[in-house]
Structure 1
Amino acid sequence: MSARAVRLVAPACLIVLTLAVAPPALAQERPQLLPTRDVSVTYRVTGARAQGGMPQMTLSWLAARQAMRMDMGGMGWLVADHRAQRGFMVMEQMRMVMDVPMEQALALPTRASFRRTGQDRVAGLPCTVWNFQDGADRGTACVTADGVTLRAQGTSGGESGSMEATRVTYAAQDPARFQRPQGYQALQMPQGMPPGMLQGIPGMPRR
């Protein structure tokens, strides 16, 4: 599988996690960005990532393990283990699995700042609107009190994009869905993959 193909398979998967790992400035107010309870959120994606073949995605969080699963329709699924700082991507049709080190998956933001700007409702749920900025990258996100990002949009590297929740389901997640599948062929990550190749849609803070 080529590096370009991998970018098309999983370009939008870590938007929420990318925001969540941004270390705050000292004494800076910032949103709760890791969900505090199990939840599954379906997003509508716009911008370059949607044009790449992913107009919709579903993120599920297993709060006790701080693990996230992204389902990409017929393209497969990806799990990011925030606590263990590692992940893997599964290509169902090919029955292949590829390890994705977190430091490769995320170009972690180090100077992102947040500013509360108001309140809104998305997918029937109340959320707080935050502006964020990391160097030239900037945008807004609407986040619930329990850490669910319902909407995010912004510009990064000359590209703009957004994601917005269309359905939010609070329910216990099956831990088995976050496990590496057995009996799948291991696939090596393509050489030359730049840091942050799985970072979220344009506009999310990055280093």
Structure 2
Amino acid sequence: MTSRFLPIFRRGYEAGARRRAGAGLLLLAMSTAPGFAATPRLLPDRDASAIYQVSQPGKPEQTWRIRFDAAAGLVRATSLSGTPMPMTALLDLHSGRAQLVLPQMHALVNVPGLSGAMGQVMAMRGAHFTPLGTATIAGYRCTRYLVLRRNASGTACLTPDGFALAASGSDPHGRVSVQALSLHIGPQPAGDFEPPMGYSEVTLPPQMLASLLGQ
């Protein structure tokens, strides 16, 4: 990574230090919306591409294109709007491996802390789900749930095959809402889930990652 990018990361670190550590990781974990609830499925059982809108109070709305490889448990999340810079997140939901692809910096940023955040969200230990009825979102029917757990609460609308079409929740870190704008079920290009060749791998503190994600 060339020296002209160092001031960007320095400013990002200073800004992120003033925010709650891990807020950006929580947002990214919730952007992989299938893991938000323990019922009826943890993960989608079919390949798909979806566009999600992510909202937080006082923050610009973000839009992400999410692609799922169901058999391999892989997710590709590409920012479309609302983030400080374009980026793509590559997630392995089985191993917890996570990387951010930053084209402008020709960098591949390892996110070691995301596996733990993903595990907590996906496990939802101690959560209680109360059905609230059904809804149609992005052209698909889903069951709405009230989700309660210690120090956190929210709602989720889940399809029987593991897609979360909407999720909203709050905890001591703040509040975040995610809603699907579109969902297209079908095979996805396998190469899209691989990191690009020739990028430099770096690891950043959670505060910097939060700043990159606009948290």
Provide the TM-score with structure 2 as the length reference.
0.75
Matched, 1:156 2:175: no
Give 1:40's aligned residue: 49
Give the aligned residue type for 2:200: Q
Deviation at 1:31, TM superposition (A): 2.3
Unaligned runs of 5+ in 1: 25-29, 198-207
Aligned residues: 188
Percent identical among aligned pairs is 25
Q: What letter corresponds to residue 123 of structure 1 in structure 2?
A: A
Describe the shift of the 1:139–1:8 C-alpha distance in structure 2 as closer, same or farther (beyond 3 A).
Answer: closer
Post-superposition offset of 1:98: 1.3
Q: Which residue of 2 aligns with 1:179?
A: 194
| CA RMSD between the two structures | 3.1
2:158 is aligned with what amino acid? V
Q: Once the 2 structures are TM-superposed, how far is the Cα of residue 103 of structure 1 from its aligned partner? A: 3.3
- Residue number in structure 2 paired with 1:85: 96
Matched, 1:128 2:143: yes
Q: How does 1:94-133 map to 2 (within 5 A)?
A: 94-101=105-112, 102-106=114-118, 108=120, 109-133=124-148
CA 1:21 to 1:77, structure 2 compared with 1: closer, same or farther past 3 Å?
Answer: same
Deviation at 1:141, TM superposition (A): 0.4
Query: Partner amino acid for 1:75?
Result: P
Q: Deviations over 1:88-135 (max 9, x none)?
A: 111111110012234355361432222222111111110011111221
Instruction: Give the CA deviation at 1:71.
Output: 0.6
* Aligned counterpart, 2:184: 169
Any stretches of 5+ residues in structure 2 without a counterpart? 1-8, 211-215
Cα distance in 2, alignment partners of residues 150 and 124 from structure 1:
10
